[in-house]
Structure 1
Amino acid sequence: MKKEYWFVVITYIAMQLSSIVGMPIFMLIGSLSGMPADELKVKAAAYWIVFSFLAALSLILILMRKDMRERIDTRNQASIPTSILWAIAGVFLALIAQSLAGSIEQMFGVKSESENTQNLISLIYEVPMVIFVTSVIGPILEEILFRKIIFGSLNKRFNFFISALISSVIFGLAHGELEHLLLYTAMGFTFAFLYAQTGRILVSMVAHIAMNTLVIILQVLYREDIEKILDTAQAFIGGLL
């Protein structure tokens, strides 16, 4: 991999681990400002997520500026209209992949509810700004790292399937929910397919952003109703399997 790619990987890992140092600092600031103790930890976690993700995105865009300035061989890219269609279709493909993977997980006794998602929803209720991180900044960072850098680097040495599988498993492991590894891997595989199919990282990025935004907004507004619908849909798909 290119040197700047390694710096991007290090930046992403540092962002994920930064709460160890960052949250105590934000909690101290909150306590000094008179914030109630019962709100302190949640608010600190929410604001640190916003700060750390924005800081990481800014640094990664700086690290990738040379890469973005390099002339792109448009012969290996889909046309803009085709890319737009793939981005739209990618949202549905990702949702289908997520539903199928969730159904398979349920067959093995894994609960459909994601702890990560529920924690993020709770933070959004406390600090609505977090929705921008989960819906936009997070997907941008993940597509740059897991698709453009990891999948892209692997795909220069291996075929699509091996490259997509390895990068998607890493993508799943990075979410820290081993019980939902299949679900995250399926989603990662879908986004890798979109990137490989069009040659444009913006396509997988837009599909990822749109899917996250849709899921987060629906869960915030219709949390209980969505859980019932997903359970019913997954039970139906599981019955077909």
Structure 2
Amino acid sequence: MKKKYWWIIFIYIVMQFSGYIGVPLLHELGVPKNQLFGMWGTFSFIAALVIILYMLIPEMRERHRNSKRVSKGSAILWSIIGIFMAYAAQIIASMIEMNLFGIQPGSENTKQLVEIVKNVKYFMIVTAIVGPILEEIIFRKIIFGSLHKRFNFFISALISSLIFAAVHADFTHLLIYTAMGFTFAFLYVKTQRLIVPIAAHVAMNTLVLIVQVLFADKIKEMEQQLETAQLIIGGLL
């Protein structure tokens, strides 16, 4: 692995743990408690992304030399296909978890992020866009890409996907995160364009936020109306 990549991974790790210093600092400055994690998370993620992208500028300039890259039109097509592939992988993994292991759906990591977004709306930029871009750079371009130079696709995708799952600290749904990692790794190899798994990842996260944040009250209202209708029908019968 390139020395620069190790520095990028180091920056990513520092960003992940920077809250231990940043959050207390914001608290001392008088920031409301329910906004601490969202405010610091937004600052730290965006700062890390800017630094990492700056470090990757030389590689971004040289990317046109890769003759294996698909065309822009194909990249757009694969981005769309990738969204459906990612959802299919998530659904299949979720069904396996429920039917074989009795694990109920619902990610604790996702719930925590949604709660932060509800308190700090602009944190949505991190969860929907900045976070996925960083994760694809770290886990697909750097970790998977470096492994794939030495091992076959399965081993490289498995190792990088398990690390990807572990970083989310939601070990109950390890299978789902691993399945997602495999999907994004496939898209990266198939197209040789990192923007493709980034687009699929961003689309997935954005849809989750739209459903669980923007339409959460409406969905809850619909569920209550459905429950009321069921009680009425049950009473009539």
Separation in 2, partners of 1:137, 1:71: 21
Question: Which of residues 87, 100, 112 is equivalent to 2:92?
Answer: 100
Please name the residue that 1:8 is paired with: 8
The residue aligned with 2:102 is 109
Amino acid aligned to 1:55: A
Task: Give 1:172 shift.
Answer: 0.4
Alignment-derived partner of residue 71 in structure 2: 79
Structure-1 separation of matches of 2:163 and 2:64: 27
Matched, 1:161 2:149: no
Q: 2:228 is matched with which residue?
A: none
Letter in 2 for 1:149: I
Q: Which amino acid aligns with 1:198?
A: T
C-alpha displacement at 1:82, in angstroms? 1.1
Give the whole-Å Cα distance in 2 for the aligned partners of 1:167 and 1:186: 11
Deviations 1:164-220 (A, max 9, x none): 111111100110111111110101110000000000001111111111111111111
Residue 223 of structure 1 and its aligned partner are, at CA, apart by 3.5
Partner of 1:29: 29
Asked if the contact 1:135–1:209 (Cα under 8 Å) also holds between the matched residues in 2, the reply is yes
| Aligned position for 2:48 | 56
After alignment, is 70-79 or 16-25 more displaced?
Answer: 70-79
Q: Residue 142 of structure 2 is aligned with which of 146, 149, 158?
A: 149
| AA at the equivalent of 1:128 | K
Q: Which moved more, 1:103-112 or 1:177-186?
A: 103-112
Residue 18 of structure 1 aligns with which residue? Answer: 18
Gaps of 5+ in 1: 32-39, 229-241
Contact 1:91–1:208 (8 Å) recurs in 2: yes
User: How big is each residue's C-alpha offset from its partner over 1:220-241, in whole Å with a ceiling of 9 and x where there is no partner?
Assistant: 1334749x8xxxxxxxxxxxxx
Q: Residue 185 of structure 2: which of 183, 192, 198 is its match?
A: 192
Give me the identity figure in percent.
51
Quote the Cα distance in structure 2 between the aligned partners of 1:71 and 1:10.
24
Q: What's the CA shift for 1:71? A: 4.7
Q: Unmatched 5+ residue regions in structure 2? A: 224-237
Shift of 1:106: 1.7
**Cα gap change, 1:66/1:73 in structure 2, threshold over 3 Å: closer, same or farther?**
closer
Distance (whole Å) between structure 2 residues aligned to residue 61 and residue 123 of structure 1: 26
For 1:211 and 1:87, the matched residues in 2 are separated by 11
Contact 1:7 1:63 in 2 (8 A): no
2:234 alignment partner in structure 1: none
Alpha-carbon contact 1:30-1:44 (below 8 Å) kept: no
Q: What is aligned with 1:70? A: 62
